[in-house]
Structure 1
Amino acid sequence: MTNTDQIPAPSRLFEPARLGGLELPSRLVMAPLTRNRAGADGVPGELMAAYYAQRASAGLIIAEAATPNPVGQTYPHIPGIHSAAQIAGWRRVVDAVHGAGGRPMFLQLQHGGRVGHPDTSGHTPLAPSVVPFPETLHTPSGLRNAVPPRAMTAEDVRSTIADFATAARNAVEAGFAGVEVHSANGHLLHQFLARNTNRRTDEWGGGVKGRIRFTTEVVRAVAEAIGPERVGLRISPGSGVNAVEEGDTADLYPALLAALTDIEPVYVHVVHADPDQPLFAAIRRTWPGILIANPVLSREEVVTDGGKQRGERLLDEGADLIALGRGFLANPDFVERLRAGAPLNEIRPELMMHVHGAEGYTDYPTLARV
């Protein structure tokens, strides 16, 4: 065997890629990661700008969940995208990333639905049905039991769809290349998809056709507002995060993806993607466009290679881009470390969420500082 034969093939993760009209320097996407570092008014500040600028080498950054209206806020210090000050704050973030050599950024739009509390948002949470969140919630006054949400009226549904469209326009005004509509992990859109949280008998509930309608109409309104080439959708098929139970996952997602084909969003982003599960293969067969896969990772995989091998397998199974979260969280130079096969920083999980300040946020060292 020659020395050339022993050299491993270059990883496809580092190949350039396209996302609609965007040129990406690699297939590595920084997944959206809620960090609770915005101001109490939901305005991103200089600390958030520094955090994202540190991670500018990602092929694409999908910035953390931002709420499209006040009632959609989940926890304290979650950023919003519904006020002039929030738009200006996000513009500072985008400018900082571009100034550090970063490429495009998308902003995730998330409405918490029943995952919210009046102590945090000042509003009674809205949800498809009056099904209380069965867990405690972080609020400015500490952990509190969730309150029963108010079932959305037809007018609430229409106004919330309009708020998503306005939030998308605000994101583009702030400099984002596009937005990701969050229909995953037990938040409002996922609550409409799930049978245990959507008990409606009108056109927004009942069977699969009714339960996928809200997500479909939000994506449609956002695409009409800023163009489908600027719009992605995040889904988490079969996930029970935030106590949702879909009940008919195998029927739900093919129907949802089929309903999106005439809207043509630029990508679908699958959370907890597993190349060994038939559901991922079924989604790849059903969805004709760009597919971003956010893999299921064990703690050992996070520590050893940050998800590199699992991401490469998902590319082999048909994914176009790979979204990784915890590796980017603890390693400002995550792309460079993966490319070099360098050791990764250990995550300090106690500082991931519901804390404030630079510790566990912008103080993770780069290779040059180790």
Structure 2
Amino acid sequence: MPSLFDPIQLGAVTAANRVLMAPLTRGRATKEHVPTPIMADYYAQRATSGLIISEATGISREGLGWPFAPGLWSDEQAQAWVPVTAAVHAAGGKIFAQIWHMGRVVHSSYNDGAAPVSASATTAPGKAHTYVGRHPYDTARPLELAEIPRLIDDYARATRNAIAAGFDGVQIHAANGYLIDQFLRDGSNHRSDAYGGAPENRIRLLREVTERVAAIAGADRTAVRLSPNGDSQGVDDSDAPSVFVPAARALAEIGIAFLELREPGPEGTFGRTDVPRQSPAIRQVFGNPLVLNSDYLSAEQAQVAIDSGVADAISFGRTFLANPDLPARLRAGAPLNTDVMATWYSQGAEGYTDYPALEAVPG
């Protein structure tokens, strides 16, 4: 079996190791969702990852509802990403853009009072993060059939902008209770048209978006993230294998570069679930690299997943927040810096670019 530190081919991209950086929302863009110079420093610090998957990045104003998160729908945003990708490449790294539509978890305050869109008229639990504090989510309006082509065009535009900005590829965010996940699962998709009902219909939007993105970026520079287990932001399914295994099979037929699965366990974060993990069944239908994610905290944990034959690589999330040189630390068995939750989404360098690398740690 390969080591966590062996190279891996991810479609068109040769990754130097199998320690991938998972997408991590950090809130350091402008209020207009334009990337800022400090983001180039942050990502370049983490360029020893086999592949960086960027923070979730909005495909449209309609689809972005997180304070100071970046976008990729305008020329200004795309140009502001250029120094970021250039810095990563200068440091020897590779980076994919994760493209994102949040669906029903976009608060109406982001869109001049307009209701968010989703598969059906449902409401996310809890409260939204807005520029003026936390507020209950709005009830979404169902996307009309006539709007689906426009939505897919938004994914296409973001993909073109990502490639123009120098990203090595794109990952479609289809996990964590966001728009595509809202279409995939029967707990949030109550439609009776071609995008609802049977699993093959609920998979349709994922397949069409992926086909369009792959036609622009190339299938070998296209990836997808799924969360094929229990509840995530109120989005769930009564029979997860019936939708996620066929979804993975459809993605395999498109020939995407890799598939990332977010699989938190009962004690996991952001979507705890005691539903059995779907990755072994998905492994049977998806032959290209399969990347597992969620709460991996050590090289030993990650190597066990690779040795099992289910995972080809592991994407590390919160451990990359405070450890810019995470691959070196894992290889050396060195202690990890502890991240500070209060600065996860704050503005500025504190808790962002000021975590020390291993050689800078005293002693």
Tell me if both proteins adopt one fold, taking TM over 0.5 as the criterion: yes
Aligned residue runs from structure 1 range 1-370, under 5 A: 12-102=3-93, 104-122=94-112, 123-272=114-263, 279-297=278-296, 306-318=297-309, 319-353=311-345, 355-370=346-361
Q: Which portions of structure 1, spanning 4 or more consecutive aligned residues, are displaced by more than 6 angstroms?
A: none
> Aligned partner of 2:243: which letter?
L
Moved more, 43-52 or 259-268: 259-268
Distance in 2 between residues matched to 1:152 and 1:278, nearest whole Å:
30
Compute the displacement of 1:138 (Å): 0.9
Compute the displacement of 1:239 (Å): 3.3
Distance in 2 between residues matched to 1:266 and 1:273, nearest whole Å:
23
> Aligned partner of 1:237: which letter?
P
Asked whether the 8 Å contact 1:191–1:198 carries over to 2, the reply is: yes
Count of residue pairs brought into register by the alignment: 350
Compute the displacement of 1:278 (Å): 5.5
CA offsets 1:15-38 (integer angstroms, 9 cap, x no match): 111112322111110000011111
Question: Under a length normalisation based on structure 2, what TM-score does the superposition of the two structures give?
Answer: 0.93
Asked whether the 8 Å contact 1:76–1:120 carries over to 2, the reply is: no
Asked whether the 8 Å contact 2:64–2:106 carries over to 1, the reply is: yes
Distance in 2 between residues matched to 1:148 and 1:50, nearest whole Å:
39
Compute the displacement of 1:368 (Å): 2.5
Compute the displacement of 1:273 (Å): 6.5
Compute the displacement of 1:296 (Å): 3.9
Report the secondary structure of 1:14's partner residue: coil
Report the secondary structure of 1:71's partner residue: coil
Asked whether the 8 Å contact 2:12–2:221 carries over to 1, the reply is: no
Compute the displacement of 1:335 (Å): 1.2
CA distance 1:20–1:80, change in 2 (3 Å): same
Compute the displacement of 1:11 (Å): 7.8
Distance in 2 between residues matched to 1:333 and 1:11, nearest whole Å:
21
Asked whether the 8 Å contact 2:229–2:263 carries over to 1, the reply is: no
Question: Under a length normalisation based on structure 1, what TM-score does the superposition of the two structures give?
Answer: 0.91
Distance in 2 between residues matched to 1:272 and 1:278, nearest whole Å:
7
Asked whether the 8 Å contact 2:293–2:314 carries over to 1, the reply is: yes
Distance in 2 between residues matched to 1:278 and 1:362, nearest whole Å:
34
Compute the displacement of 1:207 (Å): 1.4
Asked whether the 8 Å contact 2:344–2:351 carries over to 1, the reply is: yes
Compute the displacement of 1:321 (Å): 1.4
Distance in 1 between residues matched to 2:70 and 2:294, nearest whole Å:
25
Compute the displacement of 1:96 (Å): 1.1
CA offsets 1:297-343 (integer angstroms, 9 cap, x no match): 4xxxxxxxx33222111111221111101111111111111111111
Asked whether the 8 Å contact 2:221–2:256 carries over to 1, the reply is: yes
Distance in 2 between residues matched to 1:235 and 1:117, nearest whole Å:
23
Asked whether the 8 Å contact 2:294–2:317 carries over to 1, the reply is: no
> Aligned partner of 2:88: which letter?
V
Report the secondary structure of 2:278's partner residue: helix
Compute the displacement of 1:209 (Å): 1.2
